[in-house]
């Protein structure tokens, strides 16, 4: 589901004038080493590792040796998002990484299991072989589809599905694993609303941890596994509530107004972390567990650019991390805390491609 947002941003970027700074990067950096903007002080170096299509949701194996990510790159023979595997030191400019999803339906949100030999991801392949329709606008506004056909599966690194973790009716997706290696958090519509749940690695002991009206999703555990950060749209007025419910009945949600929330791993002590306006999303814990990195367009006047920001878990000390004029999102730290992978429209010649970049991180 989240990769659709990249496509939407790509369309918006095309409607604006070409950015001179990005053009300079494109002319100077056609290999894997990318320029770091002078203001991006947390990036010691920056390396581009994909070169075409929409590539996002890249996650490290627990030993930081491999990455799993989703892509819709047509040159890799896919019509919509599928899952791909790569070694953490590889780049894919003139070659195709191995696909480890079925190639059927649409997939989203892969994540490594603690054994480094399996991944989990959501897929619609049980319902259809072809890519499901992906509506992008409803009543003039951007929307995300919430496919009831998504279920969560575990596969080995050769692409063989070894277990189905969810069988409930409705949307089950956006699953991530605790760094402690004991729990999974995921998003589901099984209650009639879009809520967060946890379960054991084998799919047992499912517990609902959010229960307020609105979309709760994109959740990640803190490094010690005690807290969860996630994005949410919480409609408040009668008009907002009606609009939210009407869209949900059609399997849709609007992602344009979201804030970040934080809670304990069991859902207790829930509190709103940001109150910035616009879309604040794709949060991930800093290795210290005391800060959150996330993507936002709260400073944008026309919906873009999206940049990465960092904020303390008490809501203080907001800091801008990236300084592009297009799109930066999906920041994920390596487990050793030394590297950050994220998706960006930078260095794409002013086109639609969203690629993966790895930065050496410095505090």
Average pLDDT for runs of 10 along the chain of length 363: 42 35 39 86 96 96 98 94 96 92 97 98 96 79 91 98 97 98 98 98 98 97 98 95 95 93 98 96 98 96 91 98 95 98 92 94 97
Say if CB 10 and CB 352 are below 8 A apart: yes
Q: Which long-range contacts (CB under 8 A, 24 or more apart) does 266-274 make?
A: 266/198, 266/207, 266/209, 267/196, 267/207, 267/208, 267/209, 267/210, 267/228, 270/210, 273/229, 273/311, 273/313, 273/315, 274/311, 274/315
CA–CA gap between residue 333 and residue 71 (Å, rounded): 20
Q: What is the pTM of this model?
A: 0.91
Say if CB 276 and CB 258 are below 8 A apart: no
Q: Say how many CA atoms lie within 13 Å of 203 toward its Cβ.
A: 15
Q: For position 93, what pLDDT does the model report? A: 87
Superfamily assignment of 3-361 in CATH? TolB, C-terminal domain (2.120.10.30)
Q: For position 31, what pLDDT does the model report? A: 60
């Amino acid at each position: 589901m989240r990769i659709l947002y990249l496509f939407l941003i790509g369309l918006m970027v095309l409607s604006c004038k070409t950015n001179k700074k990005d053009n300079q990067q494109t002319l100077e950096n056609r290999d894997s080493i990318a320029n770091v903007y002078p203001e991006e002080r947390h990036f010691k170096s920056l390396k581009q590792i994909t070169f075409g299509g929409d590539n996002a949701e890249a996650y490290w194996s627990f030993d930081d040796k491999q990455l799993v990510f989703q892509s819709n790159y047509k040159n890799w023979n896919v019509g919509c998002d599928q899952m791909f595997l790569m070694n953490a030191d590889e780049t894919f400019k003139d070659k195709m990484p191995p696909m480890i999803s079925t190639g059927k339906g649409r997939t989203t949100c892969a994540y490594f299991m603690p054994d480094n030999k399996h991944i989990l991801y959501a897929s619609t392949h049980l319902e259809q072989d072809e890519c499901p329709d992906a509506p992008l606008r409803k009543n003039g506004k951007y929307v995300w589809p919430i496919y009831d056909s998504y279920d969560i599966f575990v596969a080995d690194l050769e692409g063989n599905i070894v277990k189905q973790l969810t069988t409930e009716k409705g949307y089950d997706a956006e699953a991530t694993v605790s760094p402690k290696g004991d729990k999974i958090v995921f998003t589901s519509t099984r209650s009639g609303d879009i809520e967060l749940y946890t379960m054991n690695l084998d799919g047992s002991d499912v517990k609902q941890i959010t229960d307020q009206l609105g979309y709760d999703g994109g959740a990640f555990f803190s490094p010690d596994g005690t807290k969860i950060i996630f994005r949410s749209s919480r409609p408040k007025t009668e008009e907002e509530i009606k609009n939210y419910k009407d869209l949900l009945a059609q399997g849709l949600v609007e992602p344009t107004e979201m804030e970040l929330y934080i809670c304990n791993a069991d859902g207790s002590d829930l509190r709103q972390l940001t109150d910035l306006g616009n879309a604040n999303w794709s949060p991930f814990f800093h290795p210290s567990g005391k800060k959150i990195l996330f993507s936002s367009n709260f400073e944008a006047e026309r919906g873009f650019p999206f940049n990465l920001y960092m904020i303390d878990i008490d809501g203080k000390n907001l800091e801008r991390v990236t300084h592009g004029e297009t799109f930066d999102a999906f920041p994920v730290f390596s487990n050793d805390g030394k590297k950050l992978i994220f998706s960006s429209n930078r260095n794409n010649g002013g086109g639609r491609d969203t690629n993966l970049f790895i930065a050496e991180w410095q505090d």
